[in-house]
Amino acid sequence: MQRKFNSLVMAGMFVVSDFFALLLVWSVSVWVRHVFGGEFEFVLYLQLAPCLGLFLVSNALVGLYPGILLSPPEELKKLSQSTSVIFLAMSGAVFLSKQGELYSRGIFLMAWFGALFALPLFRSLLRRLAHAKNWWGHPVVVLGAGKTGREVCIALNREHRLGLRPIAFFDDDPDKIGTHFHGVPVVGRLHSAGAMAREFRDAVVIVAMPGLLPARLIEVLEGPASEFRRLILIPDLFGASSLWISAFDLGGILGLDVHQKLLDPRRQWVKRCLELSLIVVFIPIILLLSLVIALWIKKDSPGPVLYCQKRIGLGGKDIAIWKFRTMVQNADVALQECFANDPDLQSEWEANHKLSCDPRITRVGRILRKTSLDELPQLWNVLKGDLSLVGPRPIVWAEVEKYEGGFSLYKKVKPGLTGLWQVSG
């Protein structure tokens, strides 16, 4: 009962998050129209406020609540489709009611594009703030406490965007029963997992035994795993990318259909048009915010406002990306001095090219980095075509070896202003 209640709480939190994102975008759009566009009747737009509920209903219909088991591309796709349908319906209703002259098309366009940005942002912030709470997370039972099962547990604890929380392992190895991994107990043998399904009726079961013989795997799927309402099977392709993979029936034979959507030129063109439209709509706000940040940086510490970094772009070409300066001048010299005084810092830097507590960062820089506003100048790179709004994190050549075989795929798409690295903290 407690875990079912948790799922309801999670769904309610996402509803509240979506509501405030839409309310903020609608209010800002009306305010911007008032500041730059002259006089109009505020009451007309207040009358449309109840329509915000239509967005929430539409989100529920496409499966955005309670917000679990959604990859970032899938969630973004559903949010975009749901939001666009309701905005088009509202615009059509205004037109058919012969009130088109009373409402500003600019407000509808700004609110539409703003919602496409604000909704996923608010959801990401909610996950960051709530994932450590006891009430957050849909219960997950993992069948298999071997290497794959442990990797699944680590991934679920790390990828809080999935909204899943492991609560128990089951394994036929008697030496593992009674042990714990990352605080999750190995409760018993596989055949006893059905009791957990009856205790946690909404639990998800993950069968994480890719090396299991086919006959034994069928026994598990038709036995204890069949008592759970939702089952996820980890195939014998563990470690391969699962994005845009769907099951395909080949006359009774299970196949996996792999869609290379990131390489589709039509989708790339649509994505490019959407990115340019978003930036153009919000240029006044972007310029005003950039000016305020530039003055703030100048007042806080001596040195230039912007700095440039070399990164690897599309096709493996070097690109220059811009950021607001968040560090003291001569940061490289300061970094070497820190390494000389603290060897642990050097080890941390070599592992991640980041420091959890970087002494070179200025007071303003810490705020800019925490809010990701230091990357605002990279919108210029998006306009130039060097970056995309969403894509893999731009890397340097020293990091290529960490990507191993994945670097060939990295080179086929544009790096992104934001992506999985950024939203994962």
Residue 82 lies in a domain: yes
pTM: 0.59
The reply to whether 209 and 225 lie within a common domain is yes
Whether residue 287 sits in one domain with residue 151: no
Q: Are residues 99 and 204 in the same domain?
A: no
Query: Are 178 and 101 contained in the same domain?
Result: no
The verdict on residue 288 lying in a domain is yes
Domain enclosing residue 99, as ranges: 2-130
pLDDT tens across 255-286, in order? 666 666 666 778 788 888 888 888 888 888 89
CATH number, domain with residue 254: 3.40.50.720
Interatomic CA distance for residues 304 and 292, integer angstroms: 15
> How many structural domains compose the chain?
3
Of 422 and 111, the one with more pLDDT: 111
Span 155-186, pLDDT tens digits: 888 877 778 889 999 999 999 999 999 889 99
Residues 292 and 419 in one domain: yes
Determine, yes or no, domain membership for 90.
yes
Q: Are 280 and 419 in a shared domain?
A: yes
Residue 266 in any domain: the answer is no
Residue 226 belongs to some domain of the structure:
yes
Q: 152 and 184 share a domain?
A: yes
Residues 289 and 398 occupy one common structural domain: yes
Say yes or no: 284 and 414 in one domain: yes
**How much is the mean pLDDT over the chain?**
82
Buried-state track 346-359, b at ≥16 Cβ within 10 A, e below 16? eebeeeeeeeeebe
| Boundary-marking domain end, from 95, 111, 130 | 130
- 207 and 167 together in one domain: yes
For the ranges 232-246, 332-346, 357-371, the lowest mean pLDDT is seen at: 232-246
